[in-house]
Structure 1
Amino acid sequence: MGAGKTTIGRLLARRMNMTFMDSDHEIEARTGASIPWIFEIEGEPSFRRREADMIRELTAQSGIVLATGGGAVLNPESRALLAERGTVIYLRASVGSILQRTSHDKNRPLLQTADPRRKLEDLTCQREPLYREIADLVIDTGRPNVQSMVQTILDQMAALSAARARSEAKTRMNEQACISIDVELGERSYPILIGRGLLDDGALLMKHIGGAGGKVAVVTNTTVAPLYLDKVAAPLRAGGREVVPIILPDGEEYKNWEHLNLVFDALLANKCDRKTTLVALGGGVIGDMTGFAAATYMRGVPFVQIPTTLLAQVDSSVGGKTGINHPLGKNMIGAFYQPRAVIADTATLDTLPDRELSAGLAEVIKHGAILDAVFFDWIEANIGALVARDHAALAHAIARSCEIKSDVVKRDEREGGLRAVLNFGHTFGHAIEAGLGYGAWLHGEAVGCGMVMAADLSRRLGHIDDAAVERVRALVRSAGLPTVAPDLGAQRWIELMEVDKKNEGGAIKFILVKPLGSPSIGNAPRELLLATLQAGVSDAVADAAGANAR
């Protein structure tokens, strides 16, 4: 109040050939009552409701310069509408200046107190952060020359407009250059954006992360944070969003209740509400934990996936599976909860360790092995380029994997039947992870070995021949993944596989290939399963013996 909104607003509207409007004046004109009267008779809460309704109506118009009451920012919806529908200019004035300008004004109901200076100081303390949250421009009004201030506003608006135009043009170029795949789930549908350099596009990040307003909590880990946290947070802060960084330790062994609670601790400590957006910036562990936190915090808040590993980009970030591990089983506690968007910047793979890249290739191979024989052929022909991080090859592998998975998710979102085929190699793989201790093998390494074992079991059941098994084994090996299993002991293997979400009635369900490129779900006679387990261990012993001999 008293910062000169009406005076400057009228001059600005005249210079811009627009219509000047004042929300307080409009309320008085509609009600036939003065603002002080409304405050006195109806109370401030009633006035604030009228004010919010007026701002909703006026911000829907175009070609206007709107001056709002100083307390309009107290309403979250009004803040969001002002930020989304217009350019917000905060006219900043000192308490002393405001007091001097309003000392004889009886139309300021909030200042009709014994100590107006103290009241102004309290209001400034309450409102200043909210002004800054949504302001595109901040103009100090201490100068006496009003015309000069108006010209400053026009100059800064022109610069802001040019910057926005450049950013929007860059976004259009990026969106044209990137691959976009829609996961079609009705009102829960969302895009998967795949391209190089997407994290360099602040406007794209604001569009898909910060556009809804509210705080943004970025969950990441100690490895990824130094590389990409600032890159994601900077444009959000510049766009007026408050960013809450949450940094967890890196590793599968931390995917548990204890570390999930660290996310909740940070959200509560920072007073994050239902309008907070969670961002998963990292690999599969971060994506699963952040998604589970989003599904359960205040019974559900929006979240966005920014996967930075190949495994997360081709698999775990898509489809809405979230959760944590339990000592007795992997991913046994969680929820189906879809993200608002998936932003896969392939440039993040440049910093990915070779071992992590190989782990991601396991999920690429999986998609071809169970649902696309032609894609499997392509992977065989291009595995060298993929291992060498050829950008075009990786982009195609990520896009085709996402297409395959999104099509399955569209038809079976909650794994009622078809979606279970995406667990090819996972029954054996999860047993390896749990048996060795989470983190000893990467998830993709365990899945790679698990696919070889699942192919071997498929052969023993008569679904495929020896040549098909060897193709799977050779491709997994070429990807840099293990092809022989650790010796857990037959009984321990079976105990671990019995704790699997696909199982029904105590019977272990396996995802098999019949033939290569087509999936089959079924059980296996115990003797054939034991033979597959024994063959895996025998191969491991043979490999070890060969290595010793060499």
Structure 2
Amino acid sequence: MDLSKSNKAEIARAVQEKLQDTNIILVGMMGAGKTTIGKALSVLLNKDFVDSDHEIQSRTGVKIPVIFEIEGEVGFRKRESEALVDLVKKRNMVLATGGGAILSQENRKALRKNGVVIYLRASVNDLYRRTRYDKNRPLLQTKNLLERLNDLHAQRDVYYRETAHIIIDSGKQGVRFLIQKLIHKLISLDFQEINRNHCQNNMQTITVDFATVSEKRSYPIYIGYGILDQVDLLLSHIPQMRVAIISNETVAPLYLGALTAALAKKKITVVPIILPDGEVHKNWQTLNVIFDALLKNHCERNTTVIALGGGVIGDLAGFAASTYLRGVPFIQIPTSLLAQVDSSVGGKTGINHTLGKNMIGAFYQPRMVLTDSATLNTLPDRELYAGLAEVIKYGLIRDPEFFDWLERNMRHLIARDPEILNQAIQRSCENKAEIVAADEKEKGVRALLNLGHTFGHAIENGMGYGVWFHGEAVAAGIVMAAELSLRMKLINDADVARIREIFLQAKLPVIAPKMPPEKYLELMALDKKVESGKTRFILLNRIGEAVMRADISSTVLKEIILTCTSHE
């Protein structure tokens, strides 16, 4: 690859597009060329250049040798780690680290997690040649510099190699040649694989806590990439060496076999119950198919029911578990984005009725939730986009910083970037867990989770279950709720524009289907939030703050419906 003037700009644009907001982090021995190479890379890739040693000096107001003299190496390493914690939060930078930054395991994890790490490797002889007259490196102020460099290199090389995504020899090569090699390696790098490997090694656990005067209950939500076969996570929540796994005709061929095999290795037998796929089957008839299978297989009170699938499977399996033998253990393994961020958390279970969505059901908490984001790789695009509606909802009702983050990262979510998806799932579950813990049975604040759902459920019912996906209906419903909030003078035009734009970025509908306003009102009157004959709506005081209102006239609602629905 030649970085001549004729193609330098073209190559730079290609690399910039691939790296986008990615950090480039340089590690290596003192004298390896991190500052020189880092500055050249930052110019070529249009990124900020940051030197961690300069950051430490800026924070303390004194040079590195002075810190070593006063606080010793231990004190300096502490300051270095504190600086790196803040520095890795930045984006679109080239970061040159100190030679000993990788001695801390936490530093190594943070560097590898937050950028592409490049190890600039140099021989001890080259390092000696470059540093022998340098008086500003405290660890090299010794009579036998070559021996000291040998010792430091022997100690640190293994950590550099452990941390790096790319290793390149700096040697005696010129800066221009090194940059050419680096650009070639960066273009060839599989960023998806890097993110997958990181996600696999970074499972997160969120705890849903319920505390009352009489009892304290909790359950974990495990979130990670490729963790479906980690059945050890399930074992403590399975009281009997037998489980019933409820799935559907789409998901079962993909994941049931591997899960069954992993459980078999732990001597756990599986009763598979395979249902037809789709919202249209979320009814009494399908529920009875589950009961028939549980009874025919003599499933007992300690037989755990496991839901393996999306929101429909989770709701059906949970409702069956809550009522079979008056309640059996229940575990959620959600495989759709919507289920992972919303329906699998909080214990709402149920089925649809011809007159209303989710009108028959029970609050029944799972013993645990196992969320493997790798299952999203097989999710059709339309279903992935539908799940994003519930993710966006959390930013709108209570987490404005998350909403801002979603605006910046929506293209990565659409592209199924595993690291970004894991972050979105985790943040969504944290929000849901906090709300559910505070209001398990939806007596108060939990109702705010229904932003857009009053309109959305009317769309699903009116169009016929399954014609509009739940997330699609919620997206259009949230836009209607935003327009209603604007009409009530709670938010402004700019807020509504942002809300419309983020749903468009997520490839979701912002115009509701055409139905007579009277039909919308009739269906909304069947909403679960109706109280004393009044339909209660979740509206927005601002982006990041929701409120419930019941003082909406039918005249205003009809105007909003006519404004927000298709006129074709």
Contact 1:214 1:275 in 2 (8 A): no
Q: Partner residue of 2:314?
A: 287
User: Does residue 180 of structure 1 match 2:208?
Assistant: no
CA distances 1:32-74 after superposition (whole Å, capped 9, x unpaired): xxxxxxxxxxxxxxxxxxxxxxxxxxxxxxxxxxxxxxxxxxx
Alignment counterpart, residue 349 of structure 1, candidates 369, 376, 395: 376
Q: For residue 393 of structure 1, what is the amino acid of its counterpart?
A: I
Which deviates further from its counterpart, 235-244 or 452-461? Answer: 235-244
Q: Which amino acid is the alignment partner of residue 489 of structure 1?
A: P
Q: Gaps spanning 5+ residues in structure 2: where?
A: 1-197
1:199 aligns with 2:228: yes
Counterpart pick for 2:267 among 232, 235, 240: 240
- Give the C-alpha shift of residue 237 in structure 1: 2.0
Could you tell me which residue of structure 2 aligns to residue 481 of structure 1?
508
Is residue 215 of structure 1 aligned with residue 215 of structure 2?
A: no
The question of whether the paired residues in 1 share the 8 Å contact of 2:458 and 2:520 is answered with: yes
- On the 8 A contact 2:200/2:225 being kept in 1, the answer is no
Aligned residue in 2 for 1:29: none
CA displacement at 1:527 relative to structure 2: 2.0
State the one-letter code of the partner of 2:554: R
| CA deviation after TM superposition for structure 1 residue 266, in Å | 0.2
Secondary structure of 2:542's partner? coil
Alpha-carbon separation, structure 1, partners of 2:401 and 2:304: 39
How far, CA to CA, are the matches of 2:543 and 2:395 in structure 1?
Answer: 9
Counterpart AA for 1:376: F
Pair member with larger Rg: 1
Query: Are 1:433 and 2:486 counterparts?
Result: no
The residue aligned with 2:420 is 393
Q: Which residue of 1 aligns with 2:186?
A: none
Identity of aligned residues (%): 57
Alignment of 1:105-504 (within 5 A): 177-186=202-211, 187-208=216-237, 210=238, 212-504=239-531
Shift of 1:214: 3.8
Q: Is the partner of 1:272 in helix, strand or coil?
A: coil
- 1:114 matched residue in structure 2: none
Report the secondary structure of 1:185's partner residue: strand
Shift of 1:215: 1.9
**Distance (whole Å) between structure 1 residues aligned to residue 300 and residue 224 of structure 2:** 32
1:506 matched to 2:533: yes
Contact 1:205 1:235 in 2 (8 A): no
1:98-109 equivalences under 5 Å are: none
Query: Unaligned stretches of 5+ in structure 1?
Result: 1-172, 545-550
Q: What's the CA shift for 1:213?
A: 1.9
- Is 2:460–2:470's contact at 8 Å kept on the other side of the alignment? yes
CA contact (8 A) 2:386 2:471 kept: yes
SS of the equivalent of 1:380 reads helix
Q: Quick one: which amino acid aligns to residue 217 of structure 2?
A: R
Which has a greater percent of helix?
1
Instruction: Give me the whole-angstrom Cα distance separating, in 2, the residues matched to 1:381 and 1:294.
Output: 40
The structural deviation recorded for 1:525 is 2.0
The 8 Å contact of residues 248 and 277 in structure 2, kept in 1 or not, is answered as yes
- Residues 94-122 of structure 1: CA distance to partner in whole angstroms, max 9, x if unpaired? xxxxxxxxxxxxxxxxxxxxxxxxxxxxx
1:200 aligns to what SS in structure 2?
Answer: coil
Q: Per-residue deviation at 1:207?
A: 4.3
Amino acid in structure 1 at the alignment position of 2:542: P
Q: CA deviation at 1:236?
A: 1.7
Q: Distance in 2 between matches of 1:484 and 1:302?
A: 41
Find the residue that maps to 1:440 and give its secondary structure. Answer: coil
Matches of 2:472 and 2:369, distance apart in 1: 24
The alpha-carbon deviation at position 377 of structure 1 amounts to: 0.7
CA distance, structure 2, for counterparts of residue 296 and residue 245 of structure 1:
19
Q: CA deviation at 1:231?
A: 1.4
Does the Cα contact within 8 Å between 1:512 and 1:520 map onto a contact in 2?
yes
Contact 1:203–1:235 (CA<8 Å) still a contact in 2? no
Secondary structure, counterpart of 1:244 in structure 2: strand
Aligned to 2:306, the other structure's residue is in SS state strand
Cα offset, 1:255, TM superposition: 0.2
SS in 2 for 1:343: strand
Distance 1:185 1:215 in 2: 28
Equivalent runs, 1:35-46 vs 2, <5 Å: none
TM-score for the superposition, normalised by structure 2: 0.63
| Aligned partner letter, 2:397 | I
On the 8 A contact 1:431/1:493 being kept in 2, the answer is yes
Separation in 1 of the partners of 2:384 and 2:307? 19
Q: Flag the 1:380–1:174 CA change in 2: closer, same or farther, 3 A.
A: closer
- Whether the 8 Å contact between 1:193 and 1:343 is mirrored in structure 2 is yes
Aligned to 1:535: 563
Q: TM-score, normalised by structure 1?
A: 0.65
**Superposed CA offset, 1:376-405 (max 9, x none):** 111111111111101111111100000001
Shift of 1:506: 1.3
How much does 1:174 deviate? 9.0
Q: Write the letter of the residue equivalent to 2:219.
A: Y
Q: Count the aligned residue pairs.
A: 366
CA distance in 1, matches of 2:386, 2:317: 21
Question: 2:95 maps to what in 1?
Answer: none
The residue type paired with residue 494 of structure 1 is L
What secondary structure is seen at the aligned counterpart in 2 of 1:197?
A: coil
Contact 2:336 2:383 in 1 (8 A): yes
For residues 471 and 371 of structure 1, what CA distance do their matches in structure 2 show? 16
Whether the 8 Å CA contact 2:199–2:422 is kept in 1: the answer is: no
Separation (CA, whole Å) in 2 of partners of 1:413 and 1:393: 29
- Give me the whole-angstrom Cα distance separating, in 1, the residues matched to 2:532 and 2:522: 14
Specify the SS of the correspondent of 2:271.
strand
Instruction: Specify the SS of the correspondent of 2:207.
Output: strand
Alpha-carbon deviation of 1:428? 0.4
Structure 1 residues 310 and 253: alpha-carbon distance in aligned structure 2, compared to 1, 3 A threshold: same
Alpha-carbon shift at residue 176 of structure 1 (Å): 6.6
Question: Partners in 1 of 2:374 and 2:454 — Cα distance?
Answer: 32
RMSD value, Cα: 1.4
Residues 256 and 529 of structure 1, relative CA distance in 2, 3 Å threshold: same
Q: Is the 8 A contact 1:174 1:198 kept in 2?
A: no
CA deviation map 1:345-381 (0-9, x unaligned)? 0000000000000000000000000111111111111
The alpha-carbon deviation at position 175 of structure 1 amounts to: 9.2
CA distance in 2 between counterparts of 1:225 and 1:477 reads 32
Is the Cα–Cα contact under 8 Å of residues 241 and 267 in structure 2 kept in the other structure?
no
Q: 2-side partners of 1:398 and 1:519: how far apart?
A: 21
Partner AA of 1:528 in structure 2: V
Q: For 1:407, give the aligned amino acid.
A: E
Separation in 2 of the partners of 1:207 and 1:227? 25
